[in-house]
Amino acid sequence: MIIKVLGSGCMNCKTLESRVIEALRELQMDAAVEKVQDYQQIASYGIMHTPGLVIDEKVAVAGFVPTVEKLKEILIAHRST
Protein backbone atom coordinates (compact mmCIF):
# COMPACT_ATOMS: atom_id res chain seq x y z
CA MET A 1 0.00 0.00 0.00
CA ILE A 2 1.38 3.41 -0.96
CA ILE A 3 -0.01 6.44 0.81
CA LYS A 4 0.57 9.96 -0.39
CA VAL A 5 -0.09 13.09 1.61
CA LEU A 6 -0.77 16.00 -0.73
CA GLY A 7 -0.12 19.52 0.42
CA SER A 8 2.33 22.35 0.23
CA GLY A 9 3.61 22.15 3.76
CA CYS A 10 0.87 24.03 5.57
CA MET A 11 -0.19 23.20 9.10
CA ASN A 12 -3.04 20.92 8.04
CA CYS A 13 -0.81 18.78 5.84
CA LYS A 14 1.62 18.14 8.67
CA THR A 15 -1.22 17.23 11.00
CA LEU A 16 -2.64 14.86 8.39
CA GLU A 17 0.72 13.17 7.89
CA SER A 18 1.29 12.58 11.59
CA ARG A 19 -2.26 11.26 12.02
CA VAL A 20 -1.82 8.86 9.11
CA ILE A 21 1.34 7.51 10.71
CA GLU A 22 -0.44 7.25 14.03
CA ALA A 23 -3.39 5.40 12.47
CA LEU A 24 -1.05 2.99 10.67
CA ARG A 25 0.77 2.25 13.89
CA GLU A 26 -2.42 1.61 15.80
CA LEU A 27 -3.62 -0.72 13.06
CA GLN A 28 -0.18 -2.29 12.84
CA MET A 29 -0.29 -1.82 9.09
CA ASP A 30 2.72 -1.40 6.93
CA ALA A 31 2.67 1.23 4.25
CA ALA A 32 4.95 3.73 2.61
CA VAL A 33 3.95 7.30 3.41
CA GLU A 34 5.09 9.88 0.90
CA LYS A 35 4.73 13.61 0.85
CA VAL A 36 3.70 15.32 -2.38
CA GLN A 37 4.38 19.04 -2.34
CA ASP A 38 4.56 19.83 -6.03
CA TYR A 39 1.49 21.77 -7.16
CA GLN A 40 1.47 20.23 -10.61
CA GLN A 41 1.33 16.77 -9.12
CA ILE A 42 -1.26 17.76 -6.55
CA ALA A 43 -3.44 19.17 -9.31
CA SER A 44 -3.01 16.03 -11.37
CA TYR A 45 -5.09 14.20 -8.79
CA GLY A 46 -7.89 16.67 -9.41
CA ILE A 47 -8.16 17.94 -5.87
CA MET A 48 -8.64 21.66 -5.31
CA HIS A 49 -8.46 21.71 -1.64
CA THR A 50 -5.46 20.66 0.42
CA PRO A 51 -4.65 18.58 2.36
CA GLY A 52 -5.31 15.49 0.31
CA LEU A 53 -4.75 11.84 0.99
CA VAL A 54 -4.15 9.42 -1.83
CA ILE A 55 -4.08 5.69 -1.19
CA ASP A 56 -2.80 3.53 -4.03
CA GLU A 57 -3.44 6.37 -6.50
CA LYS A 58 -7.01 6.84 -5.35
CA VAL A 59 -8.09 10.08 -3.68
CA ALA A 60 -9.41 9.18 -0.25
CA VAL A 61 -9.57 12.56 1.47
CA ALA A 62 -9.62 16.10 0.09
CA GLY A 63 -9.85 19.34 1.96
CA PHE A 64 -10.03 18.36 5.58
CA VAL A 65 -8.06 16.57 8.27
CA PRO A 66 -9.93 13.52 9.50
CA THR A 67 -9.50 12.21 13.02
CA VAL A 68 -7.23 9.24 13.64
CA GLU A 69 -10.35 7.10 14.13
CA LYS A 70 -11.77 8.14 10.77
CA LEU A 71 -8.41 7.53 9.10
CA LYS A 72 -8.35 4.03 10.51
CA GLU A 73 -11.75 3.36 8.93
CA ILE A 74 -10.53 4.69 5.60
CA LEU A 75 -7.38 2.59 5.75
CA ILE A 76 -9.29 -0.57 6.63
CA ALA A 77 -11.78 0.06 3.82
CA HIS A 78 -8.93 0.43 1.35
CA ARG A 79 -7.16 -2.66 2.57
CA SER A 80 -10.17 -4.86 1.98
CA THR A 81 -10.63 -3.70 -1.63
Partner 1 sequence: MKKVIEKYPLGAVVLLLPFWIILYIGLQPLADAFVSLTNLPPGEHITEALRFFVFEVPKVLMLLTLVVFGVGIVRSYFSPERTRKILGGKSLLAGNVLASLLGVVTPFCSCSAIPLFLGFVESGIPLGVTFSFLIAAPMINEVALVLLFGLFGWKTALLYMSTGLLIAMIAGYVIGRLTLEKYVEPWVYEVKAGHFEMVEEKILFSQRIIAGIDAVKEIVAKVWIYIVIGIAVGAGIHGYVPENFMASIMGKSAWWSVPLAVIIGVPMYSNAAGIIPIVQALLEKGASLGTVLAFMMSVIGLSLPETIILKKVLKIQLILIFVGVVAVGIVVVGYVFNLIY
SS3 52: strand
- Cα distances from 29 to residues 5, 38, 45, 48, 72, in angstroms, run 17, 27, 24, 29, 10
Question: Closer to partner 1 at the Cβ: 23 or 65?
Answer: 65
Task: Choose between 27 and 59: whose C-beta lies nearer to partner 1.
Answer: 59
Binding segment toward partner 1, per CB under 8 A, in 16-24, 27-35, 38-46, 72-80: 38-46
Residue 62 near partner 1 by CB under 8 A = yes
CB 16, CB 65: distance < 8 Å: yes
Longest pairwise C-alpha distance within the chain: 33
Note whether 58 binds partner 1 by CB under 8 A.
Answer: yes
Q: Which residues bind partner 1 (CB under 8 A)?
A: 7-8, 10-12, 39-40, 42-50, 58-59, 62-63
